[in-house]
Amino acid sequence: MLNAAFHVSVAHVRELPRDSLAEVAFAGRSNAGKSSAINTLCNHRRLAFVSKLPGRTQLLNFFRVAEGRYLVDLPGYGFAKAPKAQQMQWQDLIGGYLAGSSHLRGLVLIMDIRHPLTELDWSLLEWFRPSGKPVHVLLSKSDKLARGPARQALDGVRTSLREAGFQVSVQLFSSLKRMGMDEAEGVIRAWLGVPKKNPAEGEAAGTKQPQPCVKAPAQGGEAGDEWKQLV
Ligand SMILES: Nc1nc2c(ncn2[C@@H]2O[C@H](COP(=O)(O)OP(=O)(O)OP(=O)(O)O)[C@@H](O)[C@H]2O)c(=O)[nH]1
Ligand SMILES: [Mg+2]
């Protein structure tokens, strides 16, 4: 289990935490279970906002795991019902962050096990590949499939990624059943450089109350421009 506290919500890449040393981002289609995975890995019911309705996470939400070490909950992509302008803005924000953050150590890509490797997932993987940063896939909602079909889906995704030339690790995960926790936590800790028995964790978790959500400034179309400046 990771100990984390909410740190800040960010609407523009220029507002990223200044003390950051290492970040692990959670990306994936809208409703895939990103926020749920963060809550589960941090053993917290409402750290990140979860919703039955897609498009719930609209900002970059930073959760502090240790001094200068963050998990980043990204807005989901592919939420067709969102207005076009908003979709573009989210893409700019996600793309700007993923391309521009020098502290990003790795990407956790969440895919619903029943709908893995959609076109948008492939686009993200292709787009992120030149960064050379590692990707770890969580096949979420694995509780929705019986053991055999889940295993088949896992093998299928691994094979497809390998055949496409991606060196990406893949695992089964369920927030509902708390399945796959240790493996995911191990990957994230290694990327963040936060070993399991880290004395700094006590400070990050228990003693400090999560801060209230920082009100985001009115969102314009500037995130894309910020990205261009950064890349
Ligand atoms: N059965 C099952 N449902 C899950 C699991 N993880 C998430 N869900 C459900 O899926 C829905 C979406 O979960 P979220 O965690 O909000 O998804 P998200 O990827 O953060 O969504 P956006 O912020 O909209 O991009 C919610 O109704 C969750 O309860 C899981 O492991 N098993
Ligand atoms: Mg979310």
Q: What is the mean pLDDT of residues 179-197?
A: 95
Pocket of ligand 1 from Cβ distances under 6 Å: 28, 30-36, 50-52, 54-57, 75-76, 140-141, 143-144, 174-176
Rounded Cα distance, 117 and 137, in Å: 10
Separation of CA 57 and ligand 1 centre (Å): 11
Beta bridge partners of 169: 136
- The set of residues, in sequence order, having a beta carbon less than 8 Å from that of 150 and lying 6+ positions away, is 113, 139, 142, 172
Beta bridge partners of 136: 108, 169
> pLDDT higher for 95 or 172?
172
28 Cα nearest atom in ligand 1: 19
Q: How far is CA 100 from the centre of its chain?
A: 16
Q: What is the pLDDT of residue 200?
A: 56
- The set of residues, in sequence order, having a beta carbon less than 8 Å from that of 198 and lying 6+ positions away, is 66
Highest-scoring range by mean pLDDT, 10-14, 37-41, 73-77, 95-99 = 37-41
Nearest to 74 by CA among 223, 231, 230: 223
Domain of residue 49 covers 5-230
Separation of CA 128 and ligand 2 centre (Å): 20
This prediction's pTM: 0.85
> pLDDT higher for 223 or 96?
96
- The set of residues, in sequence order, having a beta carbon less than 8 Å from that of 149 and lying 6+ positions away, is none
38 Cα nearest atom in ligand 1: 15
Q: What is the pLDDT of residue 210?
A: 40
> pLDDT higher for 27 or 222?
27
Q: How many domains does the chain have?
A: 1
54 Cα nearest atom in ligand 1: 24
CATH number at residue 26: 3.40.50.300
- Amino acid letter, 50: V
Residue 76: is its pLDDT beyond 50?
Answer: yes
